[in-house]
Amino acid sequence: MKMPIGINMVENTNSAEDMNSSRLSEDSNQSENEHGLSFLEDSLMYQLPNDYFSPDEQKENTTISVHQNTGINEEEEDERAVENQHHINEGSSPSETITKSSPSNDKCVGSNKRSRTQFEIDNHETRGVYFEPPRKKEASFGMKVMTMMGYQKGRGLGKNNQGRLEPVVAFHQKGRRGFAFEYTELKEAVTKWDPSLEVVEVDTKVKWMINELTPPSEHEMKDWIQEGEKKNTIDDETLFCDKNILQQIIKSKSIFDKFDKHEMRRARTRSNPFETIRGVFFQNRAAVKMAEMDKACDFMFTRPNGLEMHNPLYFADVCAGPGGFSEYVLWRRKWIAKGFGFTLRNSNDFKLEEFFAGPPETFHPYYGPKEDGNIYDTENQKALANLIMQQTKGQGVHFMMADGGFSVEGKENIQELLSKQLYLCQCLVALMIVREGGHFVTKLFDLFTTFSAGLIYLMSRCFKKISIFKPNTSRPANSERYLICQEKLPNINDVIAHLQHANEILLDGNKETDLVQLVPLEILQKNELFYQYLKESNDTLGNKQINGLLKIAAYCENIALIEERQSSIRTECLLHWELPDQSRTVPRYSRPEDRLQTILGSKFSAISDKAPHEIAITDADNTVCNPPCNWLFFPSAYNKSMPIECQPTLYYGMGRTRVHRLVKGTWHAVTGIELPPDTLVYAEMITEYRSEGKKQMKTHTLYIVDAWLLGAQDISQKFLPDRQYLIHQFCETLWKPTNNSFARVRPGKLHSLDEDMTRTIPLKSIQMKNGLDVMAYYPPQPSYSLNLNNDNEPFYYIPSGIIFMNFTRKPWSVHLSRSTGLHYFFNSKTNDKVYNDKRPQSAEADFSYSFEKRIILDVTNNESSSINLLNTKTKAKCCIPPRQ
Ligand SMILES: C[S@@+](CC[C@H](N)C(=O)[O-])C[C@H]1O[C@@H](n2cnc3c(N)ncnc32)[C@H](O)[C@@H]1O
């Protein structure tokens, strides 16, 4: 199609898009606060309906674009339209499998894609930005064509030289603006935008402020809290920020007050160098923010000093729905992390079904006794702290993240004033639940008021170091920033009480006055280090925000501008943050046998059908007592007459409640248990009881005796006692209070056979509900159980069998030295003898060996006498060194 002379093709294309997008509803259900409320920016990600993927898509191992998972609404559609036009994103359609961030994609041309013309590339590249091409060249080309067709300057094109003397003016519509619309504020803003002020650094450094003071005491803080007049403006809050900067922030934000939201968002998408990073393979952008902050702090969150990678990391995620932060942490640590989530129970609730990257089974969403998840509520705060203390042996979490935000549409400038209780409660809860030496990160917005400054000051005195940090993944034009606090100090209880008192004032909601001060201004100003740090941070972030806003204005004004660094920055950032450049993948739901074949191959089929060796007590001399030190045993509820479906066997967890049990070579689905994906264990489902007689209650519990895979971690080659230790950790992180329709999962403690069994597994007479007296066994009671659903009552079960697991591999066997009283390993081929600390790996039974050699003994109806007999036999043998 021939273009009319003077028409700029770039603008024309955009206009068509804009015409289309103008048909989209204006009142998107996501209100947006571009000027500072990143929650709403992130909340764009919350719209994915649960049934977003068709069953077919779910079955497939579909690799999908991030857009698809973050929930597409009109706003994102708009952004994507712009991205497709300008090739700043990979340009995949939602249903396509995409390879993200291929640099070559920048140049590709698709049906709905527009590549840059060579003209633009050659002539308009400046500081990574493309400027609108001047029209002179096109006009002169058109002029040549017209001249060839007989056009003479100053004459019309009609037969008699009649008609207009000037070319038709280019189609100049910007976004959805009317043709005649002139937006002077925008034009003015464009002249102020200085691209050279933009600092684009992948390796952002955290600037720490080191605290040299101890936490303030109750006495010191007496009379610090003050109430004052309620405010609804921040224009005069210049105590902690340069006056001009504050004014410019407010002015730059107001450019967009009357501006079309869609147009502004598209300009924001085009202008932000970090925009196309999006959520990578996580459910939202927030997850990547946490990844960036973790890296910026040398992974102090996910790899805290002093915590070995095989020991569970305890964390809390507060104001946290839908849970991207936690998904990131769980992706890094897998099941070796226990998360406590707390967020409002509403449309932004946790979306555990979206935790594709990090398994959610060890994540415990909690909503407090009010069941509303409101962090302002005092009872909720205390209950969350109790829960965490109970499960962390009174220590608290290694770190807490908080990312609270809510809509302040139309009141963007006073977001800080509206969010003060959120600021306060997030900090307060951190002081209540983070362990000594632990860390905290929380989202904040503007920090101009004495109230906010006082809160930061108090936090700075409760930790060794603090930093106010804006990650690259937080859009430059908003006022979002994060307070990062490193290494909590002891003796902070008075500060907790101070903040609790402040929260009570805020909860009171006195309409006339407001809480305006936590720390007196003189104290804040007198502390030079603190005062300068905050002021410099406000000024620096303020300038960054102003420049970001002006840049968006320039991109609104000139729709040909493209931030061409987006693709390379994305690649560099992912590399720097140690995130693989992968797409988000919906887990494949395959059959257990197929999945196991894929991950374990023939190793699994070799052992899967092996039945245990069943013995009678009379066989003990030639089996488990020869020698007894080779064996560990588990008191089981097994008996010969038990149906095969209930017998101890292999269980395979494929994530959440997709759990299967192997019965006669076939996998059967089991309901009511949750296990992380790729968990393969040898376990027994046991009926557990609490209380006696009429009050007796029963629940089902899966006791894990041994494990091959724990949440995709292959532990099969470890020594059996080491596997036991990991099983113990696994059950601890997995534990959460459940109702009785869900089975608990516990470690099946293995005992040494050479110890006195009457001491290791004491049996106690118990009266059952039907009045019968039976011998019961009380397994170790975990300290993390809660006073919930009677979980605080000691639990027991009725043993009727014993499972023996061999932990050493022939020709090695284990014996007890008479002289030292220590166990030693003896090699019957070489006659080598070594103590446990020198044992060679060849002496250790791996999972397959222990599983194949397992022995099972039925002791029904005569538990005590069988156990006594076995005890006598083992004691008679365990000290005797083997004969050659
Ligand atoms: C930006 S979102 C958090 C995003 C989250 N970090 C993630 O990674 O997915 C803000 C969250 O704060 C929550 N929130 C706001 N006010 C709250 C309150 N008073 N108590 C608890 N949660 C609150 C919102 O419901 C929302 O889930």
Residue pointed to by tokens 């968006």: 552
Residue 49 Cα, ligand 1 centroid: separation in angstroms?
18
Residue 881 per-residue DSSP state: P
Residue minimizing CA distance to atom 8 of ligand 1: 324
The predicted structure's pLDDT at residue 113: 35
Of 174, 253, 289, 853, the catalytic one is: 289
Q: Which residue ranges have their beta carbon within 6 Å of ligand 1?
A: 39, 42, 284, 286-287, 319-325, 343-344, 348, 373-376, 403-406, 422
Interacting residues of 734 by C-beta distance below 8 A, sequence separation 6+:
335, 361, 362, 674, 675, 676, 745
Count CB neighbours of 772 within 10 A: 8
Annotation marks residue 403 as catalytic: yes
The predicted structure's pLDDT at residue 166: 59
The predicted structure's pLDDT at residue 60: 34
The predicted structure's pLDDT at residue 16: 30
Rounded to 10 degrees, the C-alpha dihedral 714/716/717/718 comes to 90
Residues 594 and 669: their CA atoms lie apart, in Å, by 15
Residue minimizing CA distance to atom 2 of ligand 1: 39
For residue 425, the ligand 1 atom closest to its alpha carbon is 19
Annotation marks residue 230 as catalytic: no
The predicted structure's pLDDT at residue 145: 74
The predicted structure's pLDDT at residue 832: 93
Residues 629 and 843: their CA atoms lie apart, in Å, by 13
Residues 463 and 470: their CA atoms lie apart, in Å, by 19
Residue pointed to by tokens 């992912």: 574
The predicted structure's pLDDT at residue 167: 59
Annotation marks residue 289 as catalytic: yes
The predicted structure's pLDDT at residue 819: 82
> Mean pLDDT in runs of 10 for the chain (884 residues)?
31 30 30 33 30 32 34 36 33 31 32 34 33 45 74 71 61 56 76 92 96 98 95 95 96 85 92 97 98 98 94 97 98 97 93 95 96 97 96 96 94 94 98 98 98 98 98 96 98 98 90 92 97 98 96 92 95 98 88 94 82 87 85 93 89 96 94 96 96 93 97 96 96 86 92 85 93 94 66 87 94 87 91 93 95 91 73 69 44
Residue 73 Cα, ligand 1 centroid: separation in angstroms?
20
3-state secondary structure 374-441: CCCCHHHHHHHHHHHHHHCCCCCEEEEEECCCCCCCCCHHHHHHHCHHHHHHHHHHHHHHEEEEEEEE
